[in-house]
Amino acid sequence: MYGLEQVIIQFLLNFTSQESINTILNDPRIVAIIIGGLVAASGGLLGVFLKLRHMSLTTDAISHTILLGIVVAFIVMSSILGLEPDLSSPGLILGAALAGVGTVILTELVQRSGLIKGDTALGLVFPLLFAIAVLLVSRFTSNIHLDNDSVIVGEIGVAWANTNTHCYTGCEDVVITPEHPAARVGRVCTNCSPGGINPRSPEAVFTEQCSNCGTYNAAEAWAQGLTDVQPLLVLWPRSITTMGVITLLNVAFILIFYKELKLASFDAALARALGFKPGWLHYTLMILVSITAVGAFDAVGAVLVVAFFIIPPATAYLLTHRLGWMLILSPFLGAISALVGYDLARANLLGWLPFSELIPGLTWNTSISAAMVIAQFIVFLLAWALSPEQGFVAAMLRRQNQRRHFEDQVVMGHILNHQETLEASQELATDTLHQHFRWTPARTQQVLRRLRRLQLIVITQNRVQLTEPGVRAALSFEQTLRTGS
């Protein structure tokens, strides 16, 4: 990962200066939004297929059980191999991937036993694996950076502070010798001891000692004022690299196997009959879900990461009937929610609407990941209400239009049936018309007003009559009733 970061920074330096890179990377808001956006994009992409395969809750299970993989891999790497792994170590990611796939396989085995069905099997397997992980964490890894908070909600702030240092110029280590002008050299008594030889005593022996001699890396040396050469440093948050690579991996997987994923998700039997390997795709998808969940672990935690897999795809599903568009909308909506969510957590929308100041004395410094999830849900609600085809408002308007159209036809049909008959004067009197429909007078008057406005009826001497277009409209409606289309 370190080498990859170097390549990226080198590339960026072609377009911009090291100062502006650092200004951006030092801004917790931008870094949190980048990381949150990458988590949302990678989760939102895979989530589309999880949603279509009715596997959303499997994500929930995997996001918990990867903890077991992480912990076991951590113990193996630290106590047996003597390494110091962190969450971006390949070993931990491998452990998590194995745990994720293991969860799915175990669940399927339990389901195949026929004794425990459906989601109960999932509910049986994943708390067990999670519980083992929690026991291992508390028993063996008192020094691991995994506490309850980070497991549940994570903290993007930690991800921001967790950086790799890249140095470009002035990177030489600074060696402080006693002769160096910055060396702090003092005389120290070598044979003094309390109750023994006193420093004032003539037997006391002094030597010169340097208290800050040694080798410093460039950044330390500059920070402590030991050198005049300011090193060119870039502090790169590790999560950006990890999540960036994971996002690219997910994008590549879906681009390459788009057709196969679509077929296997829609009709696994046909996929198998045609010789595609739906099982292979299924487990690859589960591995990617596990890897994505690990990458997102320290940023958003095991519980909230589920939202990044489920809410944006569910939102996209309300907005489109096309799989391709779902795959574009879902990560996009997730990333937007990450931006809005950060500002929600800091009560400072888009940097120019500081609504925290509206309530003086209120400090507003809440969990960023939780606020991002709330933002995703707000976007979902908006889509649910406003989606042009499937939205709540559109459906309401449609129903209202249908109701009005039907009322119009009922009234026009009644007039058509009676206007040339002898009882027309009773049947078509405006003040008693409502009795024939068993409607309220107000509702009837409303329909009549509408029909007059449309010039489908005229009212002369307290009698309603169809106009010529009105007759045509009423006849054509009766025609559609008969043909049933």
Partner 1 sequence: MPDQTPPIALDIEDLTVAYRSQPVVWDLDLHVPPGVLMAIVGPNGAGKSTLIKAALGLVPRAAGSVHFFGKPYDEVRLRVGYVPQRGSVDWDFPTTVLDLTLMGLYGKLGWIRRPGRAEFDRAMHALEQVGLQDFAHRQIGQLSGGQQQRSFIARALVQDADLYFMDEPFAAVDAVTEAAIVNLLQELRSLQRTVIVVHHDLDTVTDYFDHVTLLNVELIASGPTTEAFTEANIRRTYGSRTLKALGVS
Kindly list the residues in this chain that would bind partner 1 in the complex (CB under 8 A): 52, 54, 114, 256-260, 262-263, 265-267, 269-276, 317, 320-323, 325-326
List the one residue out of 193, 189, 185, 180 whose CA is nearest residue 207: 189
Nearer to partner 1, 73 or 261 (CB): 261
Q: Supply the minimum distance, in Å, between the C-beta of residue 327 and partner 1.
A: 10
Nearer to partner 1, 263 or 464 (CB): 263
Q: Supply the minimum distance, in Å, between the C-beta of residue 287 and partner 1.
A: 18
Nearer to partner 1, 216 or 253 (CB): 253
CA distance 348 to 357: 9
DSSP, residue by residue, 224-272: TT--S----EEEEEHHHHHHHHHHHHHHHHHHHTHHHHHHHHH-HHHHH
Cβ–Cβ under 8 Å, residues 321 and 355: no
Q: Supply the minimum distance, in Å, between the C-beta of residue 418 and partner 1.
A: 37
Nearer to partner 1, 256 or 386 (CB): 256
Q: Supply the minimum distance, in Å, between the C-beta of residue 104 and partner 1.
A: 20
Nearer to partner 1, 268 or 349 (CB): 268
CA distance 248 to 313: 18
Phi-psi region of 457 (alpha: psi -120 to 50; beta: other; left: phi over 0): beta
DSSP, residue by residue, 350-413: TTTB-GGGGSTT------HHHHHHHHHHHHHHHHHHH-TTT-HHHHHHHHHHHHHHHHHHHHHH
Q: Supply the minimum distance, in Å, between the C-beta of residue 116 and partner 1.
A: 15
Nearer to partner 1, 399 or 443 (CB): 399
Burial of 309 (0-12, 13-18, 19+ CB in 10 A): buried
Nearer to partner 1, 273 or 442 (CB): 273
Q: Supply the minimum distance, in Å, between the C-beta of residue 312 and partner 1.
A: 14
Q: Supply the minimum distance, in Å, between the C-beta of residue 325 and partner 1.
A: 8
Q: Supply the minimum distance, in Å, between the C-beta of residue 276 and partner 1.
A: 7
Q: Supply the minimum distance, in Å, between the C-beta of residue 277 and partner 1.
A: 9
Nearer to partner 1, 54 or 453 (CB): 54
Q: Supply the minimum distance, in Å, between the C-beta of residue 256 and partner 1.
A: 6
Nearer to partner 1, 66 or 261 (CB): 261
Enter the DSSP assignment of 79. Answer: I
Cα 136 to chain center, whole Å? 29
Q: Supply the minimum distance, in Å, between the C-beta of residue 247 and partner 1.
A: 21
CA distance 100 to 283: 9
List the one residue out of 28, 4, 24 whose CA is nearest residue 15: 24
Structure tokens given for 64: 């918990």
Nearer to partner 1, 27 or 389 (CB): 389
Q: Within a 10 A sphere around the Cβ of 3, how many other Cβ atoms?
A: 7
**Residue 79 half-sphere exposure, CB side, CA atoms within 13 Å?**
11
Residue type, 306: V
Q: Hey, which residues does 165 pair with through a beta bridge?
A: 235
Nearer to partner 1, 326 or 464 (CB): 326
Q: Within a 10 A sphere around the Cβ of 336, how many other Cβ atoms?
A: 16
Cβ–Cβ under 8 Å, residues 287 and 97: yes
